[in-house]
Amino acid sequence: MMEKKKILFLTGSLNQTIQMHKIASHLSPDFNCYFSQIFDDSMAINLLLKTGLVETVVISDTYREKAERYYKEHGLKSDYRGETLGNTYNLVVMCSDLIFPKKFKNTKTIFVQEGMTDPMTIWSKIIHSMGLPGYYALSTALNGATDQCDIYCVASQGYKDKFAEAGTDESKIIVTGMPNFDDMHSYFNNDFPYKNYVLAATSDIRELYGFDNRKKFIKNCVEIAAGRQLIFKLHPNEVKERAVGEIRKYAPSNALIFTDGNANHMVANSSVLITQYSTLGYVGLELGKEVHSYFDIDELKRLAPLQNNGTSSQKIATICRTYLDHSRHYSKYITSRFHQENNHPIAWAS
């Protein structure tokens, strides 16, 4: 019997881990699927990680431990760095191309978009122009723009245009929709007990070493709420004690704070959504909410993820199958073949 081909899924945040699990569920048991937290094989980065100073980034031990707990709870096979089991992989599915381990240079690779990307800054443009690793931008601004993977599965035509303009070969990019954000109207079916409030979703700007005037943000939320019930949902990556203390100091005493819970359901039940840099902005717009964001609202509408009744993970899994079945290491063939087979000029155009 011919040995099943092996696929390694690289995970990061919980959202990225869930996305990869969804894709893999459409590939098992036809393929042997394994999971690893995203990692870098740069000596300098790994020395920095050992200092414990960067525990808020997805390649840290903190995120790795969370991911491996998820693998265990869901019966997924773990192979950290793709080297603990001695496997040779036929395909690596990546949650980010900011980090691209050199060991996979000659392996077929597919990028899966997980959320919105940070705005391009002067610094990120300098990093990009110099050809330095994307994570040197200290943000997700260059995620999807490094042109290192063979195929790019992205959320929308707007993101396809954005990544192509930033430098990724347009012929590699397929609009599949984005797992976890491709069936947003289903979020209305929830048991979150509050309704018709103003929801403020914070971001982990400071944890990623950016500047965040949190006092100003909170006061702006209070002004927008104008006496209505105000609920704060903290980003999972935030230093919770600090964030909660600031809200207690500058927001009304009846403001509610949630450090966990399903943020999509909270958006669905809200009247107004206030965000900093959050994919939740797309959810609010799709669900017809009044949305405030650090991003330009018209730009958010242009980039908004394709809604396809939750079929993005299945589409991406089909791309994985197609590429694995193809003998050559040539993504343009795959994208053109998909265009022909699916006869879908918008979602599958290359």
Q: 104: Cβ–Cβ under 8 A, 6 or more apart, which residues?
A: 82, 89, 92
pLDDT above 80 for 48:
no
To the nearest 10 degrees (0 to 180), the angle between helices 312-325 and 331-342 is 120
* Side-chain-facing half-sphere of 249: CA atoms under 13 Å: 10
Say whether both 196 and 245 belong to one domain. Answer: yes
pLDDT of 339:
55
Residue 49 lies in a domain: yes
What CATH number is attached to the domain comprising 257?
A: 3.40.50.2000
Q: Residue 109 pairs with which residues in a beta bridge?
A: 92
User: pLDDT (tens digit, 9 = 90+) per residue, 209-235?
Assistant: 788 999 999 999 999 999 999 999 999
* pTM confidence score: 0.86
Positive or negative torsion for Cα 289, 18, 104, 323: negative
Say whether both 299 and 327 belong to one domain. Answer: no
User: pLDDT (tens digit, 9 = 90+) per residue, 131-182?
Assistant: 877 777 777 878 888 999 999 999 999 999 999 999 999 999 999 999 999 9
Secondary structure (DSSP) of 88-147: --SEEEES-SSS--GGGTTSEEEEE--S--PPP-HHHHHHHHTT--GGGGSSSTTTT-S-
pLDDT of 194:
98
Say whether both 196 and 166 belong to one domain. Answer: no
- How many helices (H) and strands (E) are present in the chain, helices listed first? 12, 12
Contact 221, 252 (CB under 8 A): no
Total domain count, the chain: 2
Provide the CA 154 distance to its chain's centre, in angstroms.
10
Say whether both 170 and 209 belong to one domain. Answer: no
Say whether both 113 and 176 belong to one domain. Answer: yes
Domain range enclosing 144: 6-181+307-342
Query: Tell me, what amino acid is at 96?
Result: S
pLDDT of 268:
98
Say whether both 193 and 142 belong to one domain. Answer: no
* 3-state helix, strand and coil shares in percent for the chain, rounded to the nearest 5: 40, 15, 45
pLDDT of 59:
66
- 61 token code pair: 């031990």
- 336 token code pair: 């053109």
What CATH number is attached to the domain comprising 322?
A: 3.40.50
User: What is the C-alpha to C-alpha distance for residues 117 and 115, in angstroms, rounded to an integer?
Assistant: 7
Q: 32: Cβ–Cβ under 8 A, 6 or more apart, which residues?
A: 4, 5, 6, 7, 77
Positive or negative torsion for Cα 37, 129, 305, 301: positive
End-to-end CA separation in angstroms for the chain = 36
